[in-house]
């Protein structure tokens, strides 16, 4: 059944896992130039990307809160092939120090942890490491702390094998650790202190399979 918002606008329900039978939020309706009935036919990833690229901070926050739900809706393959690369580009182009951006990055750091290992198997989660590494360098403390927390959750699950090239994930973790610990700004160094124990434990447990990673 179509829902009605406080402003009297009728919205058609979004079907599928993205909405769990609920109607589109007023935030969503305002952030996307689209008729309410047409929202139901927009694929979850496209809907997510449209909200994040909107000019409304409220809409961007609303979208990021649904990141793990979007991942479940599109599946593991699309999450790794489309969603994670999209997030990596977004983070790389971000404006560090912007308070609204910091709120979105904080949500991102937490949502990434919700994708592993339920949706994304540990031995396929390496593409998330560069995103978390970038989040570990931002100025806002709560973002860095959440990124470190998620990194420490994911690292023990990065079992060698699967889709990794030779030497991964060892070379990736070692590279990230070096960049954080030798960065010019203390913020990254603080994050390095938080993730190095997990990286060391991973090497200690699986180092015999590092295949010469340096």
* Helices then strands, each counted (H, E), the chain: 11, 2
The dihedral formed by the CA atoms of 87, 160, 176 and 60, expressed in degrees to the nearest 10? 20
Structure tokens at 214: 């340096």
CB 70 within 8 A of CB 83: yes
- Give pLDDT, residue 169: 85
- Give pLDDT, residue 98: 72
Residue (of 205, 122, 199, 206) closest to 167 by Cα position: 206
- C-alpha to C-alpha distance for 142 and 139, rounded to whole angstroms: 9
- Give pLDDT, residue 22: 37
CB 133 within 8 A of CB 176: yes
- Give pLDDT, residue 28: 54
Tokens 């399979």 appear where? 209
- Give pLDDT, residue 211: 57
Tokens 């994911």 appear where? 154
**Mean pLDDT per 10-residue section of the chain, whose length is 214 residues:** 43 39 47 62 91 90 95 96 97 76 96 96 93 96 98 90 69 94 95 97 80 54
- Give pLDDT, residue 94: 75
Residue (of 67, 58, 68, 72) closest to 29 by Cα position: 58
């Amino acid at each position: 059944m179509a829902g009605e918002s406080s402003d009297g606008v009728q919205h058609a329900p979004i079907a599928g896992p993205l909405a769990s039978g609920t109607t589109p939020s007023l935030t969503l309706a305002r952030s996307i130039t689209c008729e309410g009935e047409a929202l139901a036919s927009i694929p979850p990833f496209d809907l997510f990307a449209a909200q994040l690229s909107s000019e409304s901070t409220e809409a961007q926050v609303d979208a990021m809160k649904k990141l793990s739900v979007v991942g479940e809706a599109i599946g593991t393959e699309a999450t790794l092939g489309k969603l994670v690369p999209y997030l990596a580009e977004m983070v790389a182009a971000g404006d560090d120090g912007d308070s609204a951006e910091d709120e979105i990055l904080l949500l991102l750091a937490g949502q990434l942890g919700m994708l592993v290992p339920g949706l994304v198997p540990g031995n396929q989660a390496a593409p998330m490491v560069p995103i978390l590494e970038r989040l570990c360098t931002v100025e806002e403390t709560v973002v860095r702390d959440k990124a470190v927390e998620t990194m420490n959750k994911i690292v023990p699950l990065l079992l060698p094998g699967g889709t990794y090239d030779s030497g991964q994930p060892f070379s990736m973790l070692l590279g990230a650790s070096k960049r954080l610990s030798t960065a010019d700004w203390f913020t990254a160094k603080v994050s390095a202190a938080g993730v190095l124990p997990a990286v060391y434990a991973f090497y200690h447990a699986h180092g015999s399979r590092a295949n010469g990673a340096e």
